[in-house]
Structure 1
Amino acid sequence: MSENPDSPAAPTAGNPVTPGSQASFGTYRRQPVSFVRRGTRLQGRRQAAWDQHADAFVVDVPRHVADTSVHPDYVFDAAAEFGREAPLVVEIGSGLGEAVVAAAEANPERDFLAVEVYRPGLANTLLRIAQRGLTNVRVAQANAPEVLGSMLPAGSVAELWVFFPDPWHKAKHHKRRMVKDSFAELAARALAPGGLWRLATDWSSYAQQMRDVVAASPDFRNAHDGERSGPASPLTAAWASGVDCEATGESDEVGGWAPRFEGRVLTSFENKALTAGRVIFDLTAERI
């Protein structure tokens, strides 16, 4: 998510994350990074949460070449981790854990894996898990493409969530965006047939890119193809508002936008976006 966990200056336990030292695409250094260097140290309640709850809820991911890399031989065993067979929901870029923890509490019959590279965000997630006494959430400090490309068994995921990834709004940085054709291939690998890939962003240009990626993929179909076009389209509303873009047309006649996902709670980040007058875009792609 676009949420940035704050970064206090106290020492942290364990291996620090050094996100600037490798690509967000793990060992695939040829790919441009999709995150920037941020602080990773913990203090106070976050450090205490990590010390008390990491053993129970943080997946012990074997590393390869960097602190958030995933060893290519490692495969996540959800049944062993959760002690049961249940549909698995994976959130990429879980931020402070607001969405995934609320969903886990509301859906005890499902298991949830929160994937995030920044330890402060994961520590916040541990706090929320412990406060609610949940047992159906695990967190993984790992690069998303490696998680989808090798760590998760093929076809093992019921739903994949990517909510408010970094928009990299400058045109020269669009190549750093996470959601692109190569990422769709990884998402397709991880999802079971009929599984859902849910996306959300508050940047109109990224929303269009996401829609185009889904449309171009032979592995997905837009679950709301043609819906919410014209005056009902959030893109038409964004063009009219001029909040984040110059209009490239008067009306979006393509559509394809999903209604707001009811399973996504209103996070602090999304609330700030709405308060600023930004338009929220939702997409739902079904694995063919």
Structure 2
Amino acid sequence: MSNNGLSRRTFLRGTAAAGVVTAAGIGAVTAFADVPGFYNPFAAYPITGTWQDHLNEGSLGGIDFGMAVGTNLPACGAGVITNIPENGTGGNTVTITHDNGYRSQYMHLSQFLLANGTRVGMGAVVGLSGGAAGAPGSGNSTGPHLHWHMINPSGVRINPLEYVGGGGGGGLPKTTTESDGVPGPIMWKRTQNWLRIEQGYAGPIDGVPGVNTYAALQRAMRAYGYGGPIDGVPGPNTWAAVQRLAAQWGYTGPVDGVMGPNSWRGFARFVNQDKYS
């Protein structure tokens, strides 16, 4: 995919200002992938219409995800909301204008949830999916689904999966730790993906926590009262901060730095959020 008229220098300057860093080879096709500050909120849903499918049908492009009417639609990145009711064939459309000049559009919504001009963070729910044939807001949709495309700063529609990458860890399953209180590889994969998205973790999403995972966790726990070193060696102070986080997700036990099943359940409820899939 080319930069579609946007010079490499302009693109890199704009994305750097927004905290987005990509690599673009001069004279080569540009492949965007895993852009910091963006993710694929819909990785767990089946793709029912590819980008090429849309082009074949005369559309400017898009990705369709099959999902039930009323499914929460998280923002793929931070930005400002504009709602467009009954937007032609797209029906109810929400636009998220991102800080780096890119825009995301979700189409065929059954309901808008936020007012125009609302600023949202990555993962904030901006509307509910729709698409039921003939329903208000469905446009030309013939069945429940979400249509997603992005628009670059030059006004050209682009494939969001080429921009954000497969995103979300490729559609990680939910961890059973939320119910059984036993931490395992899936819980740690989701934790690593959370830390990748929000805390700069650059290691593998392999479900095997090591020094880099724990160091990123300690950085995240600054927001929950951890004041110790970022050394990748978690101790009672690190785990006490994790318990404070877990307390916001249903944990009611002591903040004693000793992780048990109930502590892990609360923490797992946090990392089981769709935006960390």
Which protein shows a greater Rg?
2
TM-score normalised by the chain length of structure 1: 0.26
Greater helix proportion: 1
TM-score, length-scaled by structure 2? 0.27
